[in-house]
Structure 1
């Protein structure tokens, strides 16, 4: 299936979901659901394990794993999820542009080294002859940060992205397809990316991508209704996450076994991944490097890119209404 047809179907489906979203979804105060990723180790899993989120937020907290950030958006639009932890910025931007009632309330993690595209070792494809990817099968989740990075990378290398045979695959499926040799390149993140590297190498390293302006970070997003009706719970979630990040920094080795178990990984894999993560502090997030300036600028950059690329018909005039730093400002 051609790239534009896949993208139009996925974004069209998201548009329908957004339009069908209830205007005033009633949330039960006795429980909430938090979206997150498995094979994605983060310090706040410590307090998922010890029950601190439930104890301090005063509600039952259900943690639901997803395959990509677009799935998180759809679940939030439907009212099934109230908070998404480590949602990719790209699916957030695509979602709010299409009407998803979401707010960006925090930066979660920066991870340039943990999201990339791997070319199969038998393909013979490198940066020098990257145009040979045209006509070949490439596996990637679509409409998320991974997809954005892939498109920016290929365009930089002179590849016509409309001529690649893009297959919508979440990272675990992409890793399996690359292992079988079904695709010339697979793109993904987390544990699946580590498995991909056993069968090839990055088309472009993270440092090379950063040098051409590709940034990679995830966010914490919440539904508008939840932010409006239960602001204290939003602040509490961010505070507990901040405390977990600080706790982890004091003695990483002590806490890694629990984090690894909660992320569904063995200790070595979890450790190798988390060493490539950066969890910005509350003060860092409020600086110009994050919520103070850069995040807003990058949101607009991502939106403009997808409009130019043809995935979005039009960007919003003002994305600042989809971002709110008042919650992270209350974190101590």
Structure 2
């Protein structure tokens, strides 16, 4: 069976349980979904082969954006109904400042791509992490990486008030770690790879995820779209679930299509996907995710951003902006 046949069959099976029928209120001819080029995800087989169009019963336009804040602006203006793989921080900033958005799922996780690395010659591991007290640690301040560092130190019994946190973006942090100016640096992407040349992660991404410290992009929708067309949101999530399952079953078969949709060559696509995870709907509804963990993390990240001066004020609660009920 071809990848497309598998995907259509899986999507149809999920949709039978997800949606009992099409509401008469559905009158849309088309919707527009925001996404990123050069950011390969399992659902792009369904994107390129128009499985979303077939199962939703409307034309699905895919519009590429440069960053998550631009996605928020387009959603507020009404140009976009769904944002796929929107960054978590742009979502937090958006809803904190009045953007009418809802998080309805997790698009992709990449825990191993956002870590804190300790110099090998420091002799510090998660088992004796208290030795970080009194030492310099480089981290970007006021974002998810900073928040994860605080959660990690707390989990390991380190008094963060005794750690000298130094504001450094990941490239600068990598240089400082290499020179020995700091004992640990936190970062992501290419800078993280350079950090690994002289050190090892204090905690791996898998270890962090096990205690609810997550790194991820989200699937968000406008509140009006979710309210007026809940069946379309459910169907979109069902097709995504099926696409993720099909990819997990045979990633090599899906690779050429994903690479084409992402605008990348196959080697680069495969390398990027190796560090990505696509959690199932059941996983997303669990306690560590939309069952409570994400709500807690949203509030925590917002508070960190306010303290760092990156946002004027945080809300008392973010529960109203996170809805797992479309993950059927």
CA distance in 1, matches of 2:142, 2:284: 25
1:327 match: 326
CA distance in 2, matches of 1:37, 1:143: 26
Tell me how far 1:83 sits from its aligned partner: 1.1
Q: Relative to 1, partners in 2 of residues 1:33 and 1:276: Cα closer, same or farther, differing over 3 Å?
A: closer
CA contact (8 A) 1:154 1:161 kept: no
Tell me how far 1:211 sits from its aligned partner: 9.0
CA contact (8 A) 1:296 1:319 kept: yes
**RMSD (Å) for aligned C-alpha atoms:** 4.2
Tell me how far 1:116 sits from its aligned partner: 5.0
2:109 match: 110
Bigger shift: residues 93-102 or 301-310? 301-310
CA contact (8 A) 1:151 1:161 kept: no
1:38 match: 38
CA contact (8 A) 1:115 1:193 kept: no
Q: Relative to 1, partners in 2 of residues 1:212 and 1:104: Cα closer, same or farther, differing over 3 Å?
A: closer
2:93 match: 94
Tell me how far 1:98 sits from its aligned partner: 1.2
2:8 match: none
1:75 match: 74
> Could you give the per-residue CA deviations for residues 126-171 of structure 1, whole angstroms, max 9, x where no partner exists?
999999989x9x9x7x97545655787899897999996767xxxx
2:228 match: 229
Instruction: Give 1:102-181 correspondences, 5 Å limit.
Output: 102-116=101-115, 145=144, 148-149=147-148
Quick check: 1:55 aligned with 2:50? no
1:7 match: none
CA distance in 1, matches of 2:79, 2:136: 39
CA contact (8 A) 1:44 1:245 kept: yes
1:64 match: 64
2:19 match: none
> Could you give the per-residue CA deviations for residues 256-304 of structure 1, whole angstroms, max 9, x where no partner exists?
1221232233323322332322211112222223222222222222223
CA contact (8 A) 2:133 2:162 kept: no
TM-score by length of 1: 0.66
CA distance in 2, matches of 1:85, 1:143: 24
2:219 match: 220
Unaligned 5+ runs, structure 2: 1-26, 119-123, 176-181
1:300 match: 299
CA contact (8 A) 2:104 2:219 kept: yes
Tell me how far 1:45 sits from its aligned partner: 0.5
CA contact (8 A) 2:101 2:220 kept: yes
Q: Relative to 1, partners in 2 of residues 1:238 and 1:312: Cα closer, same or farther, differing over 3 Å?
A: same
CA distance in 2, matches of 1:196, 1:72: 30
CA contact (8 A) 1:91 1:144 kept: no
SS of the residue corresponding to residue 305 of structure 1 reads helix
Q: Relative to 1, partners in 2 of residues 1:303 and 1:271: Cα closer, same or farther, differing over 3 Å?
A: same
CA contact (8 A) 2:34 2:71 kept: no
Tell me how far 1:35 sits from its aligned partner: 2.7
SS of the residue corresponding to residue 70 of structure 1 reads helix
CA distance in 2, matches of 1:49, 1:164: 44
Q: Relative to 1, partners in 2 of residues 1:282 and 1:269: Cα closer, same or farther, differing over 3 Å?
A: same
CA contact (8 A) 2:37 2:263 kept: no
Specify the structure having the higher radius of gyration (Cα): 2
